[in-house]
Chains A and B, each alone.
Chain A
Amino acid sequence: MKELMIGNAAVARGAYEAGVKVVSSYPGTPSTEITESIVKYEDVYVEWAPNEKVAGETAIGASIAGARAMSCMKHVGLNVMADPVFTVSYIGANGGLVFCVADDPGMHSSQNEQDSRHYAKASKIMMLEPSDSSECKEFTKLAFSLSEKYDTPVFIRLSTRVSHSQSLVEICEPEKVELKPYVKNIQKNVMMPANAISRHVVVEEREKALREFAETTPLNAVEDNGSKIGVITSGVSYAYAKDALQDKVNYLKLGMVYPLPTNLIKEFASKVDVLYVIEELDPFIEEHVKGLGIKVKGKDVFSLLGEYSQNLIKKVVLNEEVDAFAPQNLPKRPPVMCAGCPHRGTFYVLSKLGVTVSGDIGCYTLGAVAPLNSVDTTICMGASVSAAHGMAKARGEEFNKKLVSVIGDSTFIHSGITGLIDIVYNKGNNTVIILDNSITGMTGHQDNPTTGLTIRKEPTKQVDLVALCKAVGVDRVRVEDPFDIKGFEKAVKEELEVNEPSVIIAQRPCALLKTVKHEGYYTVNSDKCRSCKMCMKLGCPAIIFEDGKAKIDPTQCNGCGLCVKVCPFTAITKGE
């Protein structure tokens, strides 16, 4: 039976059919739906971990204990997980161990455009790269058996278009996989210098074996169309190239991007006059090909930036242009905080106070866009707290009196708590605002340790943020409602004033949560509206300014009432 599935669901299906037993991940676009899709396979243990490092280590433990295990993350998640990855390369795998990493060329939802393939090379771990949903399933299945056969973790590399495109997948019965025995093996599993020295030898031997495997595996396939132009490509770039060039060129499609084959490439290159490498982001394959002394066109004709497409490839390789209507200069439509978003109250106040905001990653990063323009910095998850600590140490107390960190609940647990410990331990006086909207919002509503529910929606212990902050030594911890604008402003001012670290928990659930009830909508009484534009400062997508008056779009408004509180003329009232 065939089913239409996004690449991420197909990876989950592949893992299920391969008998995966433990899956631990931290969400991150475009990888999130892999782990979410595992939920429907009831006999698989699946969880959201507090961060990628914990998730990866959980999978590693499960593998050592004899189970097939997987961890999935976005590209920057692999940075967080990198520490265990480099060492588990030496330990290898007992039960098959798969790390799925999704890159985001074009940065649809990311803070950088890094190319994860470098990690495969740096950590000496093999990497497979599917180009559609069907391959997502097949490659994932294969990854588990290759992992066990070669005693290595295996990377699956995805990209946004592969992760989020639906195509047809053949559904098969799951394999019956028994737990492998757990045998204590100090030489293999305890990575202290004496043991690691001998494991490194094993890793290099494994590399050799995998390089040989790369020469013959059907994952790497030549498609000879008798052309004098050759294209080496992989992943979604293969799909674009096929669309653009059809059978006008020969293809070497690499399903395994680390380690790369040598003889296969040499032989393929010898049969063509012109050779291209078509790969998004970095010249990873290209540098390997050049290292073999082969002349190849790559980043000299293709971009290092963003996504590719069929037209782009057609233009470069065939010099064909497409006849299309010219793009016009139109207003952009950037993402915005939703109507009713609790973060809006926080940023309205911070913007009003004109404080420096050390920001973080989540829906609240949107506090940086007009008209709020509130956020000063965004680096990576957790950095709002630690970077503000550095700012305060650099510029002193006066600067710190007008400096706050903002960080979401999920992000705080992910890696904000360590920064807070640093502040307390090293006698900082920072003010940290935890934006507790009861969910991991940005990535599409995942539960986390502060929500009290597991990924399967089973009730569980809930991290008490107040108690947690107090336990690390913050004495001033208060919970405030960001929609109580006056109260919230007072709280921020007071905490900035004191000479000790403080935490304000801005608590109000995400407006998109099903448990949040919306009570109708509001409307502007245009007779009372004096066109002061105070409500426009909120940056609410439901409030527009037309014919000299504010107006509320009833189809967008969800009745949060924040605008009522900022209107000095009581012009905003409940709609009919």
Chain B
Amino acid sequence: MTKNIMIVGVGGQGTLLASRILGNAVISEGYDVKVSEVHGMSQRGGSVVTYVKYGEKVHAPIIDKGEADIILAFERLEAIRALPYLKKGGKVILNDRKILPMPVITGATTYPEGIVEDLSSKADVIALDALDLSIKAGSPKAVNVVLIGVLAKSMDIPKETFIKVINETVPPKFLEMNLKAFELGYNYEG
């Protein structure tokens, strides 16, 4: 069986780094893996989706509707947009942030209310303010690593593996802060 993790957010939020850390953690455990990234136009503030899939043998690079075991969402509206991709009984880890899309800013439409409640009625949801934890770790720039910490707790990959990968990925100058961010996420009690 492959495990499917979908990372969603808004272009520029750092989802790419999160998927790279996750991908490398998974290969350290000897799995086959596919990580599908987004480059190009949508990185300019559009909806972005990356997929991380691992198991004995992974074929399709994308996650289809009803296939995601976990959705890691960097933003509320993007979480609810991704919901059709969640397996029934799956889990949503939500950075409870609101970034208004341009059609909302221009007044053409409104930002939906009650997203967290809606999600919680359909899935197992962990919602947190990752920016707050990131600032506690020493910088507002480690939101993605905080979220990786929360995710790690929900996965069957040892914590040490993640720490090893963060050690290998993050520049030394930011290492301590990022490790702290990871711990704060990992120890987050919902």
Contacts and interface: CB of A to CB of B under 8 A. Distances in A.
Contacts of B44: 335-338, 363, 366
Interface in B78-96: 78, 80-81, 83-86, 88
Given A29-B40, A443-B40, A331 B66 contact: no
A104 to B, nearest CB: 9
A-side interface size class? 35 or more
A244 B108 CA distance: 39
Contacts of A236: 61
Contact of B78 (A312, A333, A543): A333
Contacts of A29: 39-41
B24 to A, nearest CB: 6
Contact of A108 (B38, B101, B110, B112): B38
Nearest to B12: A338
Interface stretch (A89-97, A188-196, A269-277, A321-329): A321-329
A30 B24 contact: no
A243 B60 contact: yes
Interface of A: 2, 4, 6, 29-30, 32-33, 108-109, 132, 161-162, 164-168, 236, 239-240, 242-244, 309-312, 322-328, 330-338, 363, 366, 369-371, 442-444, 536, 539, 541, 543-545, 553, 555-556
B106 A371 contact: yes
Top 10 nearest A-B pairs (CB, nearest first) are: A109-B40, A324-B66, A29-B40, A165-B61, A335-B46, A243-B60, A333-B101, A242-B59, A109-B41, A335-B44
9 contacts: A4-B23, A4-B33, A6-B37, A32-B39, A166-B23, A240-B60, A337-B44, A369-B102, A443-B40
A126 B73 CA distance: 43
Contacts of B24: 4
A575 B113 CA distance: 29
Contacts, number: 180
Contact of B66 (A2, A323, A545): A323
A15 to B, nearest CB: 20
A465 B7 CA distance: 42
Contacts of B38: 108, 164
A544 B110 CA distance: 12
B140 interface: yes
B84 A541 contact: no
B147 to A, nearest CB: 16
B103 A370 contact: yes
Q: Which among B32, B44, B47, B85 has the highest number of chain A CB atoms within 10 Å?
A: B44
A347 to B, nearest CB: 14
B167 interface: no
Contact of B61 (A161, A244, A325, A326): A161
Given A168-B32, A333-B46, A327 B84 contact: yes
